[in-house]
Amino acid sequence: LAKTTQPISMDSYEGQEVNITCSHNNIATNDYITWYQQFPSQGPRFIIQGYKTKVTNEVASLFIPADRKSSTLSLPRVSLSDTAVYYCLVDPWRGTGFQKLVFGTGTRLLVSP
Amino acid sequence: DVKVTQSSRYLVKRTGEKVFLECVQDMDHENMFWYRQDPGLGLRLIYFSYDVKMKEKGDIPEGYSVSREKKERFSLILESASTNQTSMYLCASSFPPQLSDTQYFGPGTRLTVL
């Protein structure tokens, strides 16, 4: 199984850029990396997904180096509403091998005024 | 918008009771999942299902079973609840037309076993 490791917590201030790194040393060739956001009393919500290099959407960017053993979620100019837990997931390609689904333990991001 | 609903937000049961957790999705998704979430352990996959009547074990299936009689409904069953099954249970669904899946989660059921 491709175990993932993330920092337990991070602190930031409004307007700053936040980078959360996840390591996944045993990632398989066909696995994708997906990040989810979870607010208290809610289920996780999809943020972004990528395979290699850089992916950007309206919410975040995802950087994946060539060896794919880690990935970095980048949140530009965070606000108080970005306070949440962020999970990194190694995601089997086309849903093959859901047995391999491995969520990290999550990073608790606290954004202060 | 995809909607995944779970039958209860909070549930309190006694040791040895049979417990049913229900999950319903309204987007005709093929895949459905049950996770449990515990502090410091993140989300762990219990069971998943590719289609009606189909089920596969995840990482921690011991003590649980599932049922998928209709495409939109996926039930998690605790045959004889134990205190170590006190946890947050999350259901998710996905339909993978693209390269990989995006999972849509329900709000969760916080189960306490006394």
Strand partners, B101: none
B60: closest chain A residue by CA: A99
Asked if the model's pLDDT at residue B99 lies above 50, the reply is no
Structure tokens given for A58: 């309206």
Query: Per-domain residue ranges for chain B?
Result: 4-113
Q: What stretches of A1-113 show up as alpha helix (H) in DSSP?
A: none
> Which residues of A sit within 8 Å Cβ distance of B?
1, 32, 34, 36, 41-46, 49, 51, 87, 91-95, 98-99, 101-106
What local confidence, expressed as pLDDT, does residue A108 receive? 96
Mean pLDDT in chain A?
89
Mean pLDDT in chain B?
91
Asked if the model's pLDDT at residue A66 lies above 70, the reply is yes
Cα–Cα distance measured from residue A90 to residue A65, given in angstroms and rounded to the nearest whole number: 15
Query: Which one of B56, B99, B105 has the shortest CB-CB distance to A43?
Result: B105
Tell whether domain A9-112 is in CATH 3.40.50.80: no
> Which B positions 80-109 lie with beta carbon below 8 A of chain A?
90-92, 94, 96, 99-108
Cα–Cα distance measured from residue B31 to residue B60, given in angstroms and rounded to the nearest whole number: 18
Q: What length is written for chain B?
A: 114
- Å from B56 to nearest chain A CA? 8
Q: Do B96 and A46 touch (CB under 8 A)?
A: no
- Å from A43 to nearest chain B CA? 5
Structure tokens given for A41: 């009393």
Q: What is the homologous superfamily of the domain B4-113 according to CATH?
A: Immunoglobulins (2.60.40.10)
Query: Per-domain residue ranges for chain A?
Result: 9-112
Q: Please compute the mean of the pLDDT values over residues B78-86 and round it to a whole number.
A: 97
Q: Please compute the mean of the pLDDT values over residues A57-63 and round it to a whole number.
A: 95
Q: Please compute the mean of the pLDDT values over residues B57-68 and round it to a whole number.
A: 94
